Amino acid sequence: MNLPPRTTAHLKIHSQNFSSQSIKGEVYAGDFQWDFIWSFSQGRLVVNPPFGRALIEDALLKYLIQTDYYLEPGGDYKFTVRAKF
């Protein structure tokens, strides 16, 4: 039986701003690295650079929605992406 492809994504939170209701951080998986801004009040996620963004954007958004109340600046987190990078 073949197991579905998986990659562990690593997330680091740099800052959290309650007045702008946003979280800034970086995520990396495989050989890719992105910076992101999660505007949780608007449900908007901005991921840069655009190269490879489609690989991580949906999985990152789902993770942030599920865990945003638990994320803290300086924290390191990880989650699994169902894709091979």
The pLDDT assigned to 49 comes to 96
The pLDDT assigned to 84 comes to 84
Tens-place pLDDT, residues 22-80: 999 999 999 999 999 999 889 899 999 999 899 899 999 999 999 988 999 999 999 99
Q: Tell whether the model's pLDDT for residue 1 goes beyond 80.
A: no
The pLDDT assigned to 69 comes to 84
Per DSSP, the three-state class of 84 is: coil
Q: Tell whether the model's pLDDT for residue 2 goes beyond 90.
A: no
